[in-house]
Amino acid sequence: GESVGLHLPTLSVQEGDNSIINCAYSNSASDYFIWYKQESGKGPQFIIDIRSNMDKRQGQRVTVLLNKTVKHLSLQIAATQPGDSAVYFCAEKGTDSWGKLQFGAGTQVVVTP
Amino acid sequence: DTAVSQTPKYLVTQMGNDKSIKCEQNLGHDTMYWYKQDSKKFLKIMFSYNNKELIINETVPNRFSPKSPDKAHLNLHINSLELGDSAVYFCASSRQGAYGYTFGSGTRLTVV
């Protein structure tokens, strides 16, 4: 399944399928991006990050792709599991002196059996 | 041991009251943050402290006042609570200059 972020859409994915979560960021000068996962009743948890000098980074079952030309970020989850059900946020590091993180609106992922 | 702990987890209060939320981190981080998450799950930074010094102060009503007695603690005091203050408030911390923030589990504030 695939979705576009920024409006908290819901992405329904069958267990075992791959998920693709998309995010458009705003600042072309941003040089660092993070994906967070927020389970119900919990705070956001760091999943994976990527710097702007890379276009792909892989973790355990997750891959982040960065396309600076169109200011687009995606998170791919392989073999989606029930424990992957959560809200996923992309965040970009600001270019001010303290580089605060600006979060996107999030995408709700629901894994169905 | 919880890395970033917030208290209380739930807070229900009437309009006009004053309330505080406390946050403590045992990670040895230098920087702490308060974020507000609205009903649509949008996360917005409110404040950040680095070694007890205020470094980020977003456009937040004066009714919100953060206080950092030491670098392991960041509290948030809210005066004259309004209905629109209802949200989940998250505390987070990081090493100075790092961006892999560690978040607490949130405080759900409901103003009635």
**Which chain A residues touch B104 with a CB distance below 8 Å?**
43
Model confidence at B18: pLDDT above 90: yes
Is omega for the bond preceding B8 within 30 degrees of 0, making it cis? yes
**Which chain B residues touch A99 with a CB distance below 8 Å?**
97, 99
Q: Which stretch of A75-79, B19-23, B55-59 has the lowest confidence by average pLDDT?
A: B55-59
SS (H, E, C) A18-82: CEEEEEECCCCCCCEEEEEEECCCCCCEEEEEEECCCCEEECCCEEEEEECCCCEEEEEECCCCH
pLDDT of residue A93: 86
How does residue B78 score in pLDDT terms, banded at 50, 70 and 90? very high
Q: Higher pLDDT residue, B105 or B96? A: B105
Bridge partners of residue A75, in order along the sequence: A21, A64
The DSSP H or E segment spanning B50 is: strand B43-50
Q: Higher pLDDT residue, B17 or A31? A: B17
- Rounded to a whole number, what is the distance in Å from the CA of A99 to chain B's nearest CA? 8
Whole-number percent of chain B with pLDDT over 70: 99
**Which chain B residues touch A101 with a CB distance below 8 Å?**
45, 99, 101
- For chain B, the average pLDDT equals 93
User: Which B positions 61-100 lie with beta carbon below 8 A of chain A?
Assistant: 90, 92, 97, 99-100
A18, HSE (Cβ side, Cα atoms, 13 Å) = 8
Per-residue pLDDT of chain A (113 residues; tens, 9 = 90+): 443 344 578 999 999 999 999 999 888 888 899 999 999 999 999 999 999 999 999 999 999 999 999 999 999 999 999 999 999 999 998 776 666 888 988 999 999 99
Residue of chain B with shortest Cα separation from A88: B41
Token duo for residue B66: 């953060």
